[in-house]
Amino acid sequence: MKVYQFSEQPYYPTWNDHSGSLRVILPNRKCDPHVAADLFHRYYDEYQLCDELGLNVMLNEHHQSATCMSSAVVVGLSILARATKRARLLVLGYPIGHRPDPLRVAEELSTIDVISRGRLDMGFIKGIPYEIAASNRNPTELMDRFWEAHDFILKAMTTHDQNFNWEGEFFHYRQVNIWPRVWQEPHPPVWSTTGSTAQARVLGERGYVMATLGTGFGTRKIFDAYRKAYLAKFGKAPGADRFAYLGLVAVSHDEAEARRRGQIIAGYLRTSAIVHVPFRNPPGYMPVEDNARMLRGETPPRGFTKDRRPLNIHACSTEDLIDAGILFCGTPDQVYGQLVEFCEHCGGMGNLLMMGHGGELTPAQTVDNLTLFSREVLPRLEAYRQPDAEAAAAAVAA
């Protein structure tokens, strides 16, 4: 298993001073740039520590938000492309449907790939509903733009001998020839995220690395949808390396300290949905059928515990989060055991996107969390033998 450390780079000093929305409308007056600078420097120090510890790094972006200061992820990628030596750099992701100019995206990512000497993993995402307000992109056509941008970026990265023309529905270029060309051939690995079986099938047909977040012990059905589509397309089972899962991780030799850390890191979940109601569900972001159900007041729970107890992951207890496979928390032995149990549930999961920092976890706690994990859990995960991929796929096909 590979492990990527992830932090939302939160501006947590405002978390108790937000008048009901940490995103979109929280005035940036509440952001002290001196405090933000200190936080950024600290977060990048911790990413560099990951590089030394043998952990990879995942970066993301959100907009107009105190939950995540990384609003232009290419900035973070640029810093780390130069400042790290070994870590793979996963962007998960780049909200390409929102971007006005996919040529620019192709240039940015190719440059990152070259400066890092081929360490870029390239996650393309739709973006959560709250991002629409910042980009003002029409939510009803976001996915059409996403796929056209995707097609364009990959063509730009894989065309080396002559300029090409692109006159699509959304993007128009007549002389495309990006410099520098990508380091990894034919292009950096493509990743994406989803929470739905429908999109999992789409990703399976393309063989991209698929990540889920907060799906806990409901993850298997999403992975199986991918397996089925992948098997039908490629005639073989997808390896565990095609699957990724974002889990919160808190580890300490002192179980009580691990719980404290887990509680703090879970502040991410408790704050991530504090958003002024109208921005939570822009028109066209979800299918009409889902919106009709919501109008009737029917909102299915997103999270489940192992024994299929529904959970509100934004408000439940630390223990519930552990039971749900959302937080992996305890001593190194316990965390390893929880992760293995989760991998078995998934039928194989080869990339742990580890939120080893969240909220107000102090620098000392974070450094200890990452260091202990890399010394006592990571080697065992790297040696761990994943469930048999063919058996998992055969069970789905049957």
Partner 1 sequence: MLQAARSGEGSLVVEGLRVDMIERGSGSPILFLHGENGIEPALAAIDELAKTSHVIAPTHPGFGGSELAPGMRSVDDLSYFYLDLLDQLDLPDLTVVGVSLGAWIAAEIAVKSAARMARLVMANAVGVKVGTRETRDIADIFAITDQEYLELAYCDPNAGRRDFKALPDAEVHAAARAREATARFAWSPYFHNPRLKSRLHRIRMPTLFLWGVHDRMLSEAYGRAYCAMIPGARFEPIERAGHFPDHEQPKIFAERVLAFAGGK
State the residues that interact with partner 1 by CB under 8 A: 133, 136-141, 169, 276-279, 282-284, 288-289, 291-292, 295-297
- Residue closer to partner 1 (CB basis): 138 or 197: 138
- Residue closer to partner 1 (CB basis): 298 or 307: 298
State the Cα–Cα distance between residues 11 and 126, nearest whole angstrom.
24
Task: Tell the smallest beta-carbon distance from residue 101 to partner 1 (Å).
Answer: 16
CA proximity to 245, closest of 204, 211, 207: 211
Task: Tell the smallest beta-carbon distance from residue 205 to partner 1 (Å).
Answer: 22
Tell me the one-letter amino acid at 6: F
**DSSP one-letter code for 207:** T
Tell me the one-letter amino acid at 125: I
Task: Tell the smallest beta-carbon distance from residue 28 to partner 1 (Å).
Answer: 17
Task: Tell the smallest beta-carbon distance from residue 147 to partner 1 (Å).
Answer: 14
Task: Tell the smallest beta-carbon distance from residue 136 to partner 1 (Å).
Answer: 5
Beta-strand runs (E) in the chain: 2-6, 56-59, 89-94, 120-124, 164-167, 172-176, 190-193, 209-213, 243-251, 303-304, 310-311, 327-330, 351-355
- Residue closer to partner 1 (CB basis): 140 or 362: 140
Task: Tell the smallest beta-carbon distance from residue 204 to partner 1 (Å).
Answer: 26
- Residue closer to partner 1 (CB basis): 295 or 398: 295
- Residue closer to partner 1 (CB basis): 122 or 128: 128
Our CA angle for 349, 195, 131, nearest 5°, is: 120
Residues near 277 by Cβ (< 8 Å), separated by ≥ 6?
none
- Residue closer to partner 1 (CB basis): 286 or 340: 286
- Residue closer to partner 1 (CB basis): 96 or 157: 96
> Residue 63 has which token pair?
């907009």
> Residue 136, Cα to own-chain centre: how many angstroms?
22
Tell me if 260 sits within 8 A of 366, measured CB to CB.
no
Task: Tell the smallest beta-carbon distance from residue 259 to partner 1 (Å).
Answer: 38
Tell me if 375 sits within 8 A of 266, measured CB to CB.
no
